[in-house]
Amino acid sequence: MIAAARAWLAQDPDPDTRAELTVLVERAERGDAEANADLADRFTGRLQFGTAGLRGALGAGPMRMNRVLVAQAAAGLARFLVDRSDGSAPTVVIGYDGRRNSDVFARDSAELLAGAGVNAVLLPRMLPTPVLAFAVRHLGADAGVMVTASHNPPADNGYKVYLGGADEGAQIVSPTDAEIAASIQGVADGGSIAELPRSDGYAIADDAVFDEYVRRTAEVQPAPAGAAGMRWVYTAMHGVGWETVRAVVTAAGYPAPEVVAEQIAPDGTFPTVAFPNPEEPGAMDLSYATAERIDAEFVIANDPDADRVAIAIPTTDGWRRLTGNDIGLLLGARAARAVARTAGASDGAPSLACSLVSSPGLGAIARRYGLDWHETLTGFKWISRAPGMVFGYEEALGYLVNPETVRDKDGISAAVAVLGLAAEARAEGRTLADLLDDLASEIGHYASGQVSIRVEDVAVITTAMARLRAEPPTTFGDVAVERVDDLMTPRDGGPGGDILRFGLADGSRVIFRPSGTEPKLKAYLDVTGDTPAIARARLAALEQAAHALLA
């Protein structure tokens, strides 16, 4: 481990991680057991490049995010693109958010890509992930790189890759991830990153890309008459969303929000939240306090790279954050009605799409309006590829309302769509809560929940999934299990993965899967009922049973 650490030090261009690792090596050489354990954690293996790219804690060593790992990733991506090109230089556009070292990793990538003969284009400043996803298509790039860890803990950063051309700016899927990973490994095995060619001959995109994203996103839903005087609150969760949201809201004609001042500017330390994720307990407390102060009609929150959006509404018991499924079904119904008004306008059979852990209520909407419905594996790399998709979502607050503009989840365009729904309801003296009630009357009462355990050792998750396979539960509470689907061996060409799905006698559903981005095992719960009270009671009982099973 000490030899590996010294070899790493010899190529590391970052003075901070060099200093960090130097101290660790010196302690290990003196026999410090804690330092030796830390070295083993950093140098046993390396962060694996997959369909989600790279993501991990910042620090020195191949099991951390740092300039060495990013340099290897950029050079490996360049080799992959050059090898598959027709002889012309491929183009890659690079974006970054406000996390620690995002700008450094982006510039390193631009220099290494340019040094490898790639036309590298760096976005002009820190911008949301959806702007990068848009830029890949808008600029006709062969690939895109976004340096972000989205809503992960403050210590993390990441490296996400998109493909242009036939992939239309979507995130990579298998087997492309394995091919890029092999190319990255080849770079890592080939020697020091100091030997990789660099060039400052990369381009910096002008604001025309940003302006066109703003224009096309504002067109998602120009402000209707009911928008005048609307009171709402916005938080960027210490991320990069506000500049773009402000421009889009202005262009679409909506009144400006009251912002959560403490969270509006980018800050990679995320000082007011433990986890910069609107789904986490307490993350939206400052938003609620601001909303109370101005008597707001609703709250809109983006995560730090603005590819997700959360909505909260007032109730007699305080503020209620809508679930990802609540928002997904509202936006799905919005899209289905739009298709019904313009039948035949889309290529192929129009469809709604969601991840298989999202609410089956979207299927009910699709049937109600005569659309196709696709359930995919989790992640927008799969949802965005659903045939004929006019709207797609996943329950983790990700929504794709404008697939002709962005082929990825987009928390800014989704926010504009929600503003439109709220304004239209407002013109009739109604609210978003009323729209949810209307939809339940139309398709039935669907309720969803989630139970998860966070672990320090991911082996715990592997063991738990193996136990569920070996000894699957026959009941959840008092309700019998009627069907078990192990999607590790999918049926009829359906989606496959490390997922277990249980169908219950009362029509409820429980799905277990490991998180793709965090050390969590998750149980997704979906129920239906003839009334809201029945649905809530079934969900509460199911949550209790799932908690007991995972305890």
Same domain, 392 and 504: no
User: What three-state secondary structure class fits 314?
Assistant: strand
For residue 458, the model assigns a pLDDT of 84
For residue 456, the model assigns a pLDDT of 84
Q: What are the start-end ranges of the H helices in 295-372?
A: 324-341, 361-369
Same domain, 456 and 364: no
Per annotation, catalytic residue among 102, 109, 150, 358: 150
Domain of 497: which CATH number? 3.30.310.50
User: Which of 206, 240, 256 finishes a domain?
Assistant: 206
Pairing outcome for strands 318-321 and 309-315: antiparallel
For residue 343, the model assigns a pLDDT of 63
Same domain, 278 and 426: yes
CA distance 535 to 61: 49
Report if residue 133 sits inside a domain. yes
Q: Please list, residue by residue across 525-547, b when 16 or more beta carbons sit within 10 angstroms of its beta carbon and e when fewer do.
A: bbbbbeeeeebeebbebbbebbe
Same domain, 459 and 428: no
* Residue 150 annotated to the active site: yes
For residue 346, the model assigns a pLDDT of 45
Report if residue 158 sits inside a domain. yes
Report if residue 20 sits inside a domain. no
**Residues near 529 by beta carbon (within 8 Å), at least 6 away in sequence:** 445, 447, 535, 536, 537, 538
Domain of 57: which CATH number? 3.40.120.10
CA distance 260 to 284: 10
Q: What are phi and psi of 169, to 5 degrees?
A: 80, 20
Report if residue 212 sits inside a domain. no
**Residue-wise DSSP of 81-101:** HHHHSSSSPPEEEEEE-SSTT
CA distance 468 to 473: 7
Same domain, 449 and 439: no
Residue 24: which H helix or E strand, with range? helix 15-29
Same domain, 431 and 449: no
Same domain, 381 and 426: yes
| Total number of domains in the chain | 3
Same domain, 185 and 233: no
pLDDT less than 50: residues of the chain: 344-347
CA distance 353 to 11: 46
Same domain, 246 and 138: no
Report if residue 39 sits inside a domain. no
CA distance 310 to 277: 9
Same domain, 366 and 462: no
Same domain, 427 and 317: yes
Strand partners, 353: 374, 392
CA distance 534 to 143: 49
Report if residue 40 sits inside a domain. no
| Residue range(s) defining the domain that contains residue 176 | 45-193+201-206
User: Which of 143, 173, 206 finishes a domain?
Assistant: 206
Q: Please list, residue by residue across 503-517, b when 16 or more beta carbons sit within 10 angstroms of its beta carbon and e when fewer do.
A: ebebebbbbbbbebb
Report if residue 243 sits inside a domain. yes
Same domain, 282 and 424: yes
User: Which of 206, 241, 259 finishes a domain?
Assistant: 206
CA distances from 255 to 222, 238, 420, 550 (A): 12, 22, 12, 46
Report if residue 123 sits inside a domain. yes
Residue of 234, 247, 220, 186 whose CA lies nearest to 410: 220
